[in-house]
Chain A
Amino acid sequence: MFKVKSCFFLIMTLMATQMWSQSISGTVRDEKNAPLPGVIISVNALGKGVPADVNGKYNLVLPVGTHKVTFSYVGYTTYETTVTLMAGQNLPLDAKMISDEVTLGNLEIVGYGVERNKPNTGSVAKINGKDVTAVRTPSFEAALQGQAAGLQISQGSGMAGAGSIVRVRGVSSISAGGDPLYIVDGIPITNDYFLRGNSGAMNNNPLATINPQDIESVEVRKDAAAAGEYGSRAANGVIIITTKKARQKGWKFDFNVNTGLATPASLPNMLNTEQYLHIRQEAWENDGGTGYVWLPNLTSATDDAATREAAYKKAMGTNTDWVKQTVGTGTKYGAQFGARYGGEKHKVYFSLGYDNNESFMIGNAYKRLSVRVNPEFNISKKLRVDLSLSGTRGTNQRVDAAWSGGLGDAMSNALPYYPVTYQDYNYDAAGNVLNKPGDYFYWKDEFGGTKNPVAMRNLRRWANVESRLINTARMIYTPMKNLYVIATGGMDYMYIGENKLNPAALDQTNSLGSYNSDQRIVRNYSYNVTAEYSKEIVEHLKANILVGHELQTSSSTGYGDYIGNLGQDIQNLSDVNTNATNRVRKAYNNEQFTFIGVFAKGSLNYKGKYFMDASFRRDGSSRFGANNKFGNFPSVSAAWIASEERFLKDNKTISFLKIRGSWGITGNSSIPANAQYSLYSAVNNGVYYNQQPIIFPTQRGNSNLKWETTSNASFAIETGLWNDRVSFTIEGYRKFSKDVLMNVSLPASTGFSSFWDNVAQVKNQGIELSTTINWLKNRKLAWKTNANFSYNYNELVSIGNYTPDAVSGGTNDSRVIVGKPIGSFYLVEFSHIDPNNGKPVYIDLNGKETYDYDNSIRKFVGSGLPKMYGGFTNSWSWKNFTLSALCTYSLGSKIFDSSAKRQLGVVTSWNMRTDILDRWQQPGDQSTYGKLTLDETNYGLPAGFPWWNTSLFIYNADFLRLRNLSLDYQFNQDQIKFLKLSSLNVGVYVTNVFTITNFPGLDPEIVRDFENAQDRNLSPNVTYLTPMQERSYNLRLSANF
């Protein structure tokens, strides 16, 4: 206790002695030397800023060091200067603002409007590009984890290019897409995870093609005030990505290289041969069997005892660790070259990047080659044109995973007594050689599939190629002072081609091999035009009004090819004649949608301390019924900077205090393009009964489909204490969604499987807290903490007259349960193993114990949504070294280990985990798992149904993870002078260092592959043979010159 007190005293002493007494202060004037109130004086790197008071005076407290200070104000050219503050220094810094009536050069556009006119009333979390690249992740969005309150990110797995689930303030949608809207340089981009379905147990990740090195910043807009301008599509938040641009005069170059190793963050504990055979033998004997147990793919239960014994003993001679056969160490390396030029009129940013990201899955890699050119043309004093041009080619070297094979096989049907290859000659009954040493050993899984993950990986050729162009052009025209007309047009072209060759050697039924190809093209065009005008209506009251309209149209087409009988000599994809005469091509329907909107937004700013915004959108979507295509989306918000009031102006404790609130309606329309239509088809694979044509209904439409809407209220207090040494924001929100779109699972007797309807109501409410604490900062030593905490309560309020089974998360046993969160698990409740007989005991709906497993007693047994999540980063700087540690955490959710029901249940043709050793063996045993059996009916399961779907496999998913640990060294100028570099940084960093959790499976953060958006919404925190997360060890070097 004494030590704790001592430490606290020491810290407080240090804080007191190092308290920021240094600052900059001065007066801001206009060209006529008149004081200019309302100018924002800020240091963007610190996220700090103050407005000039009514006399143009300001005082901004800053830490010791060098800072880039920005003075910005509507109608004036942004002024930037660099200052260096010594400890305790108060540096006078006056500024003269020049009217930018004719200067557009420094105007920033974020969202629809001019950056400096952005609302002060909304909830926006901004993450710098540097923080995005600080963590090595399969795709950039995963690096945002733990970096902003209200932003919940679950990384899927460690597979190369794997995506994440991103949720902003909970999930409001059930069947419609629950992901946020992504905007890149002003245009909404395609963000469809299911373009190629769930091929190979991995969804396409459309964000993997975005080069994180090109990102200048990421804004997360959370509430109605911030996201409201995207109204109709913002129900699940908006993420705005701004790419890098040139800002300075002359040339500047940067060069970044990195390399690293990828290893699995955890490994499954599968049984070895001796253990598996022992377990199986015990089950056999428990069931009354005598002699040696029969073994899958070697013998059957009806074989005589001698045959079974021989097979058993032979099996004991092989012990293959299939996990090691599929998992290893991957290498990573990447390089990025950037060049920036700023001339008198024109600027350009150029980058070229290459990244080779091997995962720990042997044979799996994602390679990305990207180029970006962002030129800016100041054509005249009134006209500027910006281009943002990017091209990326991503190649995903695929391997099977999860249910599709690979590591998934190693964790299931690959029994340890199966060899990888034959060690001896194998003969048939007549003495003919069937296999020779070195030939792959193949087996059949329970579904009849031919298996051997090593053979599959080595022989199959499988690549997914993605080409993407995200190009925008923006014209900024200022015909008169303070009036900006901005027209932005964009094209997002995405091509995904998956090609798979099953060569003859792999094809067990067709000795000539086969080729499959799936090609998808999405063309997404959009433009928006806005006009924005700012004016000081009366003294100190500034008004800003923006009006605009927007159009987005998207089409998705493609085709699939199949070519059989390739021939023995076809070994590589390049050998395949893709125009072969026996090619069977299936064209995919063109899925089209169009979105249009008109919007207006007004802002008032009184004395730089009272703010009010109001916006209104009217949006239309082709996805809805004829009478409901349009929806209205208003928002209002206000903010008050109380610290500018006299009663707080000189307060020594509270250096900044802002109160803001907002309300608005946002919407969601992410549903299939044609869900509204009742459709017929005349196509039936060319087969028509009685050789007569047919026509038949294929879809039951709903012409009344309309927007899913969310009423979004938010209230926040932002504060800075002790000259902003400590700052925090506390925010509360309540989102109530109605007309939530459900793809209702229809009773089979209706003749259709599903039907889209606006049915449900969903509530999200929560509290967010973000804080920055500068514990210590002086010339040699600094310690800073950024932390955020989010609490979200999610409740499904209503699903009309439907039952929980009306909407399901595929095979994940997640359902819609009123009064519970979206993403709730609906299973038979497991109670315990009866110590008397080893039988599992369940709890029925009346709370009574029973041996009978019955689907009618399924109930809510947990939710996959976390109640609390967040992250904290500590950075320590000493001289030129910076040590940084990012921790993330998640509390209050459950995880459903869906594969454990086979790995830790009935003994079948699946391998099991060593946890099964804690099984019942004799009366009186208190065990986690039951009496071993080969007969599922002993567990109360239906015959032939060994899928033990019980709450036994629902686990606490709480975790605390050291997500990233990095150590960087920044060279001094004199150390690198001879290299003619302006800066040089080297660093080492480790991602996913360790995880503290009680989850007994691979990783509590794993998210499995999904079948569709509904599955993605309903089934967070489900794992089914899903690959683990990656732990990577990395080295980076960055230089500027």
Chain B
Amino acid sequence: MKKYILISISILTIGLVSCDKMLNYQPDGAILAEDALKTPDDAQRLLNSCYDVMANVFDGSYQNLAELLSNNLATPTGLDFQAVYNKETNFFTPTTNGVYSDFYYSIYRCNSLLENFDLIEGLSESERTRMEAEARFIRAYCHWHVVKLWAQPWGYTPNNTHLGIVIRDKASNAPLHRNTVAEVYSFILSELAWAADNLPESNGNYANANAAKGALAMIHFQMGNYSQAIQYCDDVINPSQFADTLLDRFPADVVNMVALPNPETVFGIVSNNADVRTDDLIGNYNASGVLPPNLTLWNDATYSSSNELENPFFQFINVTGTDKRLSWIGTNGSRKTLNRFLDKVVFNVPLIYQTELILIRAEAIAYAQPGRLNEAIADINKVRTRAYSQDNSISTSSSVDEVKISARREYRIETIGEGKWLDQFRRLATEGVVNNIRYSPWDCPGMAIQFPNNETTGAGFQLNPEGGCN
């Protein structure tokens, strides 16, 4: 009897040896998080992946949304673009949800890096500082672009206590509520200030100290902190980098499909023929066969505002035939198209560059440092000299208001298609300079893009009100 029981037990125990080991697998085709970040090279790769996602967002994805909300474009093709254009996004709108998610993918990656420096062996202090500064720059830059589209702008409420976006400064899956716009801007500014202090002066195609300062200039300008904007612009503007003759901000060797350098670039997205990061620009502004482009310029002679900044882009630019930038405009049937990306595939996308900073500073000077008005006038005329085939300079005795008008005008034209005009329109709207974007007020609810549905999975998240822009 005992013998048989022993036999049975022996049989039963077969296979029970090393049970625990059998329950552990190394996942195929993936790297365990604990094995992913060990060397400085790993950290650099993770940092590069932050840029990688950002490059996807700024391939036109972000810019197109911002342009559609502005008064630069006509009714687009495509349901999602129409939802943005009509200021009727909802939390199922895939395109806006995709851009929003991409910004936070990049932010998450940056946070992952920032939280795991201690895991990395052999990382020098200087390298760590550089990487940290780059990660914090990207994180802040992404937050800024999210808050601009998914919330009402700075100045919408007196103390900016209106709801902004979720600040993500930790790699966490906890659902969070929205911070106020004031809190978001405070976070962005402090992060960029730290980055500006710690980024290297030169950093190849990646962010350097001037990138952070340029971003600070742009943000302060949008906030109406004109003195600070001037200060940061002064740091970054380098007359030798201004491209006197290069009107094309996106130079490309079309034949060899190679991006050409733009000397004005302070910070931007780079492409090469093995890695094209311009899909949403070339895919939406260029015609596809017999079909017109998805995005075309707003051209409506029947719409006329006493403030030219509110007018359709085509009517706005088509004042004088001497503007060489008219060559950026083409025709497709009854539509006016934007040709800045025509025939191009591989080109870089400058995000912070000299022309923009020059125009920002010029307008800021008119607000805050009228004593430097001549400098502002000279800067505007540098841009105008490049832009017009005939002398179209403003008077050296232009008034403060004339400088502002000229700076704004050049800014709108120079940045067409780049998703920047919306920021300035809203800033001017908070100051009462402009009001309507197309047929609805600048601050109607639908101007803030709706958050993705999944943002509400945590209780208490407050969505943007929808519609209301008819």
Contact = CB atoms under 8 A, between A and B. Distances in A.
Given A802-B457, A945-B90, A679 B32 contact: yes
A950 to B, nearest CB: 14
A691 interface: yes
B55 interface: yes
A730 to B, nearest CB: 39
A693 interface: yes
Contacts of A684: 49, 52
Contact of B49 (A549, A694, A803): A694
A291 interface: no
Given A695-B46, A944-B83, A487 B11 contact: yes
Contacts of B44: 692
Interface string B20-56: 1011110111111111110000101110110111010
Contacts of B451: 748
B28 to A, nearest CB: 4
Contact of A592 (B11, B28, B101, B455): B28
Given A531-B8, A942-B90, A629 B456 contact: no
Interface stretch (B120-128, B228-236, B310-318, B458-466): B458-466
Is chain A's interface secondary structure helix, strand, loop, or mixed overall?
A: mixed
B449 to A, nearest CB: 12
A696 B28 contact: no
Interface string A751-779: 11101000000000000000000000000
Contact of B48 (A547, A683, A690): A690
B339 interface: no
Interface stretch (A244-252, A315-323, A697-705, A924-932): A697-705
A943 B82 contact: yes
Interface residues of B, number: 90
B30 A803 contact: no
A674 interface: yes
Contact of B90 (A694, A697, A855): A855
A751 B456 contact: no
A573 interface: no
Interface stretch (B107-115, B191-199, B356-364, B435-443): B107-115
Contacts of A594: 22-23, 25
Contacts of B215: none
Contact of B23 (A483, A622, A751): A622
Given A745-B457, A944-B82, A620 B23 contact: yes
B433 interface: no
B15 A856 contact: no
A92 interface: no
Contacts of A681: 29-31
A747 B455 contact: yes
A944 B86 contact: yes
B97 interface: yes
A678 interface: yes
Nearest to A755: B173
A690 B270 contact: yes
A590 interface: yes
Contacts of A752: 108, 173
Contacts of A677: 27, 30, 32-33
Interface in B68-96: 78-80, 82-83, 86, 88-93
B376 interface: no
B82 A621 contact: no
Interface string A528-572: 011100000000000000011101010000000000000000000
Chain A interface residue number, banded: 35 or more
A549 B454 contact: no
A596 interface: yes
A125 interface: no
Nearest to A683: B29
Interface stretch (B164-172, B217-225, B250-258, B382-390): B164-172
Interface string B257-295: 000000000000010101101000000000000000000
A673 B44 CA distance: 30
A678 B33 contact: yes
A696 B46 contact: yes
B370 interface: no
B166 A687 contact: no
A542 B100 CA distance: 68
Contacts of A587: 29
Contact of A805 (B48, B86, B457, B466): B457
B16 interface: yes
B298 interface: no
A688 interface: yes
A692 B11 contact: no
Given A527-B15, A802-B457, A689 B52 contact: yes
A119 B111 CA distance: 57
A746 B274 contact: no
B467 interface: yes
A10 interface: no
A891 interface: no
B116 to A, nearest CB: 10
Contacts of B28: 589-592
A751 B105 contact: yes
Contacts of B92: 855, 945
Given A693-B48, A696-B109, A945 B171 contact: no
What 6 A-B pairs are tightest by C-beta distance, nearest first?
A751-B108, A944-B79, A589-B29, A678-B33, A680-B36, A696-B49
Given A749-B455, A944-B78, A945-B79, 13 more contacts: A527-B15, A549-B15, A677-B33, A693-B48, A699-B30, A748-B101, A750-B168, A751-B111, A805-B457, A854-B467, A855-B91, A943-B86, A945-B93
20 contacts: A589-B28, A679-B33, A680-B31, A681-B30, A682-B31, A689-B49, A689-B52, A692-B44, A697-B33, A747-B454, A748-B101, A748-B452, A751-B107, A752-B173, A801-B459, A802-B458, A806-B458, A855-B466, A942-B93, A944-B80
